């Protein structure tokens, strides 16, 4: 089974995991990588991000990290995870992990998140590099 990247939704949030996943999966990045090789739903990136088995109780970094540490390492990526915005399904916060600690995080448009997590999850790029690409913007947006 491949490693998935966990998507957390805060307990009591007005946002559903399905709504956030729909935004993430609407990414043009899937089509760019897939290059018309088949249906986008069959591209490995399409199902890379999955709802975590349980909701997060708090958006406190330390509590999120503890919550994420409980996931099965062979099934869930240990380099990054996402937290859905509590009111807007088009926004997420992406966390980059290193040695079990949060190294960095960035807010991003959900449609731009797949590019970030697919690179951060394999240590191909860091969130710091994405922050540099977006300059002073509060939210990373690949312009999709």
The CATH fold assigned to 5-134 is Rossmann fold (3.40.50)
Q: What's the pLDDT tens digit per position in 29-58? A: 999 999 888 899 999 999 999 999 988 888
- Please tell me the distance from the alpha carbon of residue 52 to that of residue 54, in angstroms, as a whole number: 5
Is the model's pLDDT at 1 over the cut of 70? no
Radius of gyration of the chain (CA): 14
Compute the distance between CA of residue 52 and CA of residue 127 in angstroms, rounded to an integer. 21
Which residue carries 């690179």 as its tokens?
119
**Structure pTM?**
0.93
pLDDT tens digits along 51-94: 999 888 888 999 999 989 888 888 899 999 999 999 999 999 99
Q: Which residues contact 66 (CB under 8 A, 6 or more apart)?
A: none
Q: Domain segments of the chain: what residues?
A: 5-134
């Amino acid at each position: 089974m491949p490693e998935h990247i966990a998507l957390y939704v805060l307990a009591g949030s007005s946002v559903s995991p399905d709504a956030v996943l729909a935004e993430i999966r609407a990414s043009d990045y899937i089509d760019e990588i897939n290059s018309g090789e088949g249906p986008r739903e069959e591209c490995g990136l399409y199902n890379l991000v999955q709802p975590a088995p349980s909701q997060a109780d708090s958006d406190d970094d330390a509590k999120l990290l503890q919550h994420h540490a409980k996931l099965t390492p062979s099934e869930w990526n240990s380099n990054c995870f996402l937290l859905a915005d509590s009111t807007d399904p088009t926004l997420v916060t992406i966390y980059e992990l290193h040695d079990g600690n949060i190294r960095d995080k960035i807010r991003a448009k959900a449609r731009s998140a797949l590019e970030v997590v697919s690179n951060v999850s394999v240590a191909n790029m860091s969130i710091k590099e994405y922050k540099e690409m977006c300059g002073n913007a509060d939210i990373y947006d690949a312009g999709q």
